Chains A and B, each alone.
Chain A
Amino acid sequence: MRKQIFEFLEQDTRSAALVRLAVSLVSVLILWEVVATFVTNRLLLVPPLEVLNALIGEVKKGAMWENAIATVTAVGTSFIVSVAIGIAIGLSLASSKMLSLTAGPLLSALNSVPIIALAPLFIAWLGLGFASKFVLVLLVAVFPVVVTTEAGLRATDRQLIEAAKSFNATGLQIFSTVTFPFALPFIVSGIRVAWARALVGIVVAEFFGSFAGFGFAIMSASQTFDTARVLGYVIVLGAMGLIGSMIFEALQRRLAPWRQE
């Protein structure tokens, strides 16, 4: 019986993956509940049910929607633009050796700067609201896409390119039938990292310069020592990250099934 359960959980199917996720979520909740019975200072930790109540309260007040709309529109638009710009920059870097040699080092230098630390500066430049959030998210999310796009295009099997050439393929045909499909799973892995970074970017931007959004809500709740509300919004953000990660991982598998087996 136990052996059967383990065998099921180790399977590479969607239902097994969902059960695995449910098992780990439930374990965390139980652990949390247990720890909360020992840590009784409610400023430090509140048990799961109180967090749930706080979340329900936020939904009833309408604050949840207001914050969700602010955060999702900002992070959504900025993320989509980051992906588009990241792919475009990656494409141009991969297609021009000169550009890659000159702009490449600059980009990796920029990438190693903790851009998130510049958040207060961006807010000073661009003011409170959409523009500063947009730029901050863009700057943190764009790099993973640039790097993976260029790497994926460059990694393309030379043998496949030669075969296409042997069939008299044009440059555009080589791109659309060989290099781009080859790079696509790489690009999606970059997009997955970009999504996680975008969420961090948006929260930090909202901490400093915003009157709405999850980051703003977390900040104002912690200023009133409302730990339940803080944790509630953190969980919502965690769920967004998890769902995004799962979607992109599924996409990656779909695009490159030959890498799994």
Chain B
Amino acid sequence: MSIARLRIENIDKTFNRTGKPGVEALRGINLSIEEGEFVAIVGASGSGKSTLLRIIDGLLEPSGGKVYVDGAAVTRPGRDRAMVFQQDALLPWKTVAENVAYGLTLARTPKAEADKTAQYFVNLAGLQGFEQHYPHQLSGGMRQRVNVARALAVNPKILLLDEPFAALDAQTREIMQTELLTIWQESKKTVVLITHQIDEAVFLSDRVVVFSARPGTVRQEIKVDLPRPRTLEMKRQPEFVRLVDEIWKLIEDEVRASLKQTT
């Protein structure tokens, strides 16, 4: 058997707080993700989804367990992984082109090469003509495309997306979903996507991982066998609707419970 692109082994995470009891965010997470696979994670708010993504990216150390990329243990961020954050994280004083090139600049890529690569991903994200604009001059959807382009520009093996389309309106979101699929099909990246939208998870992914409420554990993995390339019409097919229903039943109680906790 070949080595998985991304293996998550027995990950636990407890946040220690001085003077207060710790918060157990994740417990015993095991996942194995193949090269080129598109995996979506859904779960109630506070179930530790972002925490797991940060651990995979190397931004956060787990309290127990290990993450392996191609068999090598992750200890810190690296160029084999890139993250698109839940909140928009563009540098407001840099132009679109400079933001897309940011990861390359930090890695001391020669300027000519960085510019060329950045231009390629600016075009891929449909932002040509906006290279010299600043983030505050863009719409929310365009900004999020810059975030995705910036992550792709460093040519990572694994793309980590933390609710990348959450802030967008329904129409823009659907367009971005199909664009993301096109990019994924061309680049054949391994993708881990967090989302609150169950239909988004089913539409995009090969497999949906359902988290339980805090502490987050893997409650169930559901294979999505819809054919590719996927089209928006598929969202109305019985098989699609059945999958969305199945997943919603799994998390319904916990989403309701987490709503009660916070309101």
Most buried by B among A160, A168, A173: A168
Contacting residues of chain B (26-83) with chain A, CB-CB under 8 angstroms: 57, 59, 76-79, 82-83
**Cα distance, A164 to B82, chains bound together (Å):** 11
Contacting residues of chain A (235-256) with chain B, CB-CB under 8 angstroms: 255-256
Contact yes or no, B78 A168, CB < 8 A = yes
B104 nearest CB neighbor, chain A only: A167
Q: How large is the interface on A (under 10, 10 to 19, 20 to 34, 35 or more residues)?
A: 20 to 34
Chain B residues in 8 Å Cβ range of A160: 89, 91
Grouping DSSP codes into helix (H, G, I), strand (E, B) and loop, the B interface class, with mixed when no group exceeds half, is: loop
Q: Does A163 contact B (CB under 8 A)?
A: yes
Q: How far is the CB of A12 from chain B (nearest CB, A)?
A: 15
B89 nearest CB neighbor, chain A only: A163
Q: How large is the interface on B (under 10, 10 to 19, 20 to 34, 35 or more residues)?
A: 20 to 34
Chain B residues in 8 Å Cβ range of A256: 92-93
B88 nearest CB neighbor, chain A only: A159
Q: How far is the CB of B125 from chain A (nearest CB, A)?
A: 17
**Cα distance, A211 to B25, chains bound together (Å):** 71
**Cα distance, A164 to B76, chains bound together (Å):** 13
B87 nearest CB neighbor, chain A only: A159
- A-B pairs with lowest CB-CB distance, top 9: A258-B136, A163-B89, A258-B92, A167-B103, A159-B89, A166-B83, A168-B77, A167-B106, A169-B106
Contact yes or no, B91 A166, CB < 8 A = no
30 contacts between A and B (CB under 8 A): A157-B89, A159-B85, A159-B88, A162-B59, A162-B85, A162-B89, A163-B89, A165-B59, A166-B57, A166-B59, A166-B77, A166-B82, A166-B85, A167-B102, A167-B107, A168-B78, A168-B107, A177-B102, A177-B105, A177-B106, A178-B91, A181-B93, A257-B134, A257-B136, A258-B92, A258-B134, A258-B135, A258-B136, A261-B136, A261-B137
Chain A residues in 8 Å Cβ range of B59: 162, 165-166
Q: Does B181 contact A (CB under 8 A)?
A: no
Q: How far is the CB of A21 from chain B (nearest CB, A)?
A: 28
Chain B residues in 8 Å Cβ range of A165: 59, 77
Add 10 more A-B contacts to A159-B85, A160-B91, A167-B106 (CB < 8 A).
Answer: A162-B85, A166-B59, A166-B82, A168-B78, A168-B107, A177-B91, A178-B91, A181-B91, A258-B135, A261-B136
Contacting residues of chain B (129-162) with chain A, CB-CB under 8 angstroms: 134-137, 154
Chain A residues in 8 Å Cβ range of B77: 165-168
Chain B contacts to A: CB under 8 angstroms: 57, 59, 76-79, 82-83, 85, 87-89, 91-93, 102-103, 105-107, 134-137, 154
A257 nearest CB neighbor, chain B only: B134
Q: How far is the CB of B108 from chain A (nearest CB, A)?
A: 9
Contact with B along A145-189 (1 / 0, CB 8 A): 000000000000101101111111100010001100100000000
Chain B residues in 8 Å Cβ range of A166: 57, 59, 77, 82-83, 85
**Cα distance, A169 to B103, chains bound together (Å):** 8
Contact yes or no, B89 A168, CB < 8 A = no
B99 nearest CB neighbor, chain A only: A163
